[in-house]
Chains A and B, each alone.
Chain A
Amino acid sequence: MIDRSEKYLYTWRFIFLSSILFLVGAGLVWRMLDLTVIDRAFLKQQGDARTIRTMVLPAYRGMITDRNGEPLAVSTPVDSIWINPQDFDVQDQDIPQLAKLLNLPVNSIKALAKEQKKGFIYLKRGVEPALANQIKELDISGVYLQHEFHRYYPEGEVASHLIGFTNIDDKGQEGIELAYNDWLQGSPGKKRVIQDRMGHIVEEVAKLQDPRPGQNIVLSIDRRIQYIAHRELKKAIEQHHAASGSIVVLDTVTGEVLGMVNYPTYDPNVRHQARTENYRNRAVTDVFEPGSVMKAFSIATALESGKYSPNTVVDTRPGSMMVGDNEVRDVHPVGVVDLTGVLKHSSNVGTAKVILSLPKTDLVNFLHRLGFGNLTGSDFPGESPGVLQTNVTWGPFVQATLAFGYSISATPLQLARAYTVFATGGKLLPVSLLKVNAPVQGVPVLKPKAAKQMLTMLEAVMESGGSGAAGQMEGYRAAGKTGTARVATRGGYDPHRHIASFIGLAPVTRPRLIVAIVIVDPKKSYYSAQVAAPIFSQVMNDSLRILEVPPDNVALVEKQKEV
């Protein structure tokens, strides 16, 4: 028999054990509720914070290449080393090794680390990836890497004005880099990933943004021609102790700029030494009064009018004439010559006489049609439109000075472009700094007959006895015009400073290139015939050879037959 008290004891025990079991169960259920329902959001967030990372997918800035695909500007990844002074351990035994790798004195690193208020200090920017990896392996606390891009310009100072450069944040600052920044620039992408404890990526959760790499740009220039122009310009400027200069090489079939150089120049790879004024692409941004090279357009105006032919006789005696209250003079009087002779000997009096005999607006309208006073459409940042006054309220003297290239200012590129009318039978071509694949349609601005006559007359300029004789080449027939102008200063012209220029085209039988040369302030000799014309023959000859244009000089070809 079971005792009453025993029975009571059993019942009590049963209740006690049941309650404990119930409490344990309830506790577990509560904990489950607590974790999965009440704290769910917090815990999930904490979990994600430990595993989910947003990664940046880098995007390259586009390349700039020349017309043959040779790279002119390329971005490659580099690392910047930075420290957080608050985490940085000055006593770390690897610090001398770090200093050695970065080529920095140990003391300066320690001094930087003492700036406890800051949380971010660059130790060195633009470090090569291999070197950066060695630094990463040192594993010094408080030293971090930041991935960046550095832009290299293999051609250095040869193409720097045209291409420009980017700043340390990879944004275009000058030249093509600036003009086409949006096109070149990529935008980095982002993706969300799950990382394990070791930092390995276990899973890609979502791609937040696709990286969009920058687009490449193919320029119209040929790096070989660019180099030749640079070499000759540099040589000439050093030889004549000139202040500055520019050369533009234009393709007369497509209107592309094959070469565009300036001096003084700078190396975009080591820019901290450069002076800001050397950044200017003078061929496009600087205007000057061109002087005699403009006479070609005056003579073309005369031919266009129908009142003149290349053989029309002009009396330039006695080598000077009064226009209103001012005198127009020839440096070397040329006497009675035909229109070709006026151009060949570059007579101011002859040109002024011819233009004054024509309606007042003829020349200025022609110059306007040639694009003077307007942007060329090269889209180069900072391009100057030059100055051409088209309201004809001026007197005959201004008209006369316009005839021989004063009272107007233009850029070297504008002048080179205007000369395309003589190469294309009267059509003005649009210029382009980017490669042109389709043939271009020029705008007719001069009668084909006048353009053809002009080409013959401009060739005469380069015959012996003409002002451009020094620009002659052995293998190719060339046509061109010299110009020597005084530098305009406040209140008149500086008698001691000159601008020598030469614009020519070749080969005459089938024009392919225009070369325009401008040399500012040559000290030794200032006549274009001695300064600019010899550069023309060098640049033109070498460029035509590079483009594999067959020689058209009959004399040479005849001579070869005899051999």
Chain B
Amino acid sequence: MNAAARVMEQGSWFRGDVKKVSLTRELFAMLSLMVLVLASALAVVYVKNLERQLFSDLQSVQQQTNRIQVEWRQLLLAQSTWSTTARVQKIAGAMGMVLPPSNNVVLVKS
């Protein structure tokens, strides 16, 4: 605060005498610090926003994972239920499929 007050007391800007302003080392340092503070403040806002966005993406991806996992388990169950040996046998019978009797079997020796 003191530095700022001194600038306001002594600086030519605040007396309306802009032409007399000379870029001293202190002034330069101060101005660049101000710019940096502003930039950092904007960066904080930007990063926070980015974080929110990424987090919301993560949320939806996680929800998608859950949904897919649920679906996978249901499909697994469906597959397993449709392919039970009992059902396969029943359908094979309905299609007229039989086990070949032994006199129709030829053993191939490897």
User: Is B70 part of the binding interface, using a Cβ–Cβ cutoff of 8 Å?
Assistant: yes
Nearest Cβ on chain B to A157's Cβ, whole angstroms: 10
Within 8 A of B (CB), among A534-563: 550-551, 556-557, 559-560, 563
Contact, CB under 8 Å: B107 / A71: no
Contact, CB under 8 Å: A76 / B73: yes
- Interchain CA distance A475-B85 in the complex, whole Å: 23
The 8 closest A-B pairs by CB, nearest first: A227-B85, A154-B80, A474-B102, A76-B73, A154-B81, A71-B80, A560-B107, A152-B77
Contact, CB under 8 Å: A154 / B106: no
Q: Which residues from chain A contact B105 at a C-beta distance below 8 Å?
A: 475, 560
Nearest Cβ on chain A to B93's Cβ, whole angstroms: 12
> Which of B86, B103, B107 makes the CB contact (< 8 A) with A227?
B86
Q: What residue in chain A is nearest B110 (Cβ atoms)? A: A550
Q: Which residues from chain B contact A228 at a C-beta distance below 8 Å?
A: 85
Size of B's binding interface in residues, CB under 8 A: 20
Contact, CB under 8 Å: B106 / A560: yes
Contact, CB under 8 Å: A74 / B77: yes
User: Is B27 part of the binding interface, using a Cβ–Cβ cutoff of 8 Å?
Assistant: no
> Which of B52, B56, B59, B107 makes the CB contact (< 8 A) with A550?
B107
Interface size bucket, A side?
20 to 34
Which residue, A71, A224, A475, has most C-beta atoms of chain B within 10 A?
A71
Contact, CB under 8 Å: B86 / A557: no
Interface set of B (CB-CB < 8 Å, partner A): 52, 55-56, 59, 70, 73-74, 76-77, 80-81, 84-86, 89, 102-103, 105-107
Given the known A-B contacts A71-B77, A204-B55, are A76 and B106 also in contact in the complex, defined by CB atoms under 8 Å? no
Contact, CB under 8 Å: A154 / B102: no
Nearest Cβ on chain A to B90's Cβ, whole angstroms: 11
Nearest Cβ on chain B to A166's Cβ, whole angstroms: 15
Contact, CB under 8 Å: A557 / B107: yes
User: Is A201 part of the binding interface, using a Cβ–Cβ cutoff of 8 Å?
Assistant: yes
Q: Which residues from chain A contact B80 at a C-beta distance below 8 Å?
A: 70-71, 74, 154-155
Q: Which residues from chain A contact B74 at a C-beta distance below 8 Å?
A: 76
> Which of A71, A129, A204, A557 makes the CB contact (< 8 A) with B76?
A71
Within 8 A of B (CB), among A197-238: 200-204, 223-224, 227-228, 231
Within 8 A of B (CB), among A70-96: 70-71, 74-77
Contact, CB under 8 Å: A475 / B86: no
User: Is A302 part of the binding interface, using a Cβ–Cβ cutoff of 8 Å?
Assistant: no
Nearest Cβ on chain A to B15's Cβ, whole angstroms: 29
Q: Which residues from chain B contact A556 at a C-beta distance below 8 Å?
A: 102, 107
Q: Which residues from chain B contact A364 at a C-beta distance below 8 Å?
A: none
Can you spell out 9 A-B residue pairs with CB atoms less than 8 angstroms apart? A74-B77, A76-B73, A77-B70, A154-B84, A200-B59, A203-B52, A231-B86, A475-B102, A556-B107
Contact, CB under 8 Å: A202 / B107: no
Q: What secondary structure prevails in chain B residues at the interface with A?
A: helix
Q: What residue in chain B is nearest A157 (Cβ atoms)? A: B86
Q: Which residues from chain B contact A152 at a C-beta distance below 8 Å?
A: 77
User: Is A158 part of the binding interface, using a Cβ–Cβ cutoff of 8 Å?
Assistant: yes
Q: Which residues from chain B contact A71 at a C-beta distance below 8 Å?
A: 76-77, 80
Interface 1/0 per residue, A462-485 and B, CB below 8 Å:
000000000000110000000000
- Interchain CA distance A557-B108 in the complex, whole Å: 10
Nearest Cβ on chain A to B50's Cβ, whole angstroms: 13
Q: Which residues from chain A contact B106 at a C-beta distance below 8 Å?
A: 560, 563
Given the known A-B contacts A74-B77, A556-B102, are A227 and B70 also in contact in the complex, defined by CB atoms under 8 Å? no
- Interchain CA distance A475-B52 in the complex, whole Å: 70
Q: Which residues from chain B contact A201 at a C-beta distance below 8 Å?
A: 55, 59
Q: What residue in chain B is nearest A75 (Cβ atoms)? A: B73
- Interchain CA distance A70-B77 in the complex, whole Å: 10
Q: What residue in chain B is nearest A561 (Cβ atoms)? A: B107
Q: Which residues from chain A contact B73 at a C-beta distance below 8 Å?
A: 74-76
> Which of A202, A474, A475 makes the CB contact (< 8 A) with B55?
A202
Q: Which residues from chain A contact B107 at a C-beta distance below 8 Å?
A: 550-551, 556-557, 560
> Which of A76, A156, A204, A223 makes the CB contact (< 8 A) with B70?
A76
Which residue, A200, A224, A560, has most C-beta atoms of chain B within 10 A?
A560
Contact, CB under 8 Å: A74 / B55: no
Which residue, B73, B85, B105, B106, has most C-beta atoms of chain A within 10 A?
B85
Interface 1/0 per residue, A153-177 and B, CB below 8 Å:
0111010000000000000000000
Q: What residue in chain B is nearest A155 (Cβ atoms)? A: B84
> Which of A74, A75, A227 makes the CB contact (< 8 A) with B84?
A227
Q: Which residues from chain A contact B103 at a C-beta distance below 8 Å?
A: 559
Within 8 A of B (CB), among A109-130: 129
Q: What residue in chain A is nearest B81 (Cβ atoms)? A: A154
Interface 1/0 per residue, A180-202 and B, CB below 8 Å:
00000000000000000000111
Nearest Cβ on chain B to A154's Cβ, whole angstroms: 4
> Which of B77, B85, B89 makes the CB contact (< 8 A) with A223?
B85
Contact, CB under 8 Å: B86 / A158: yes
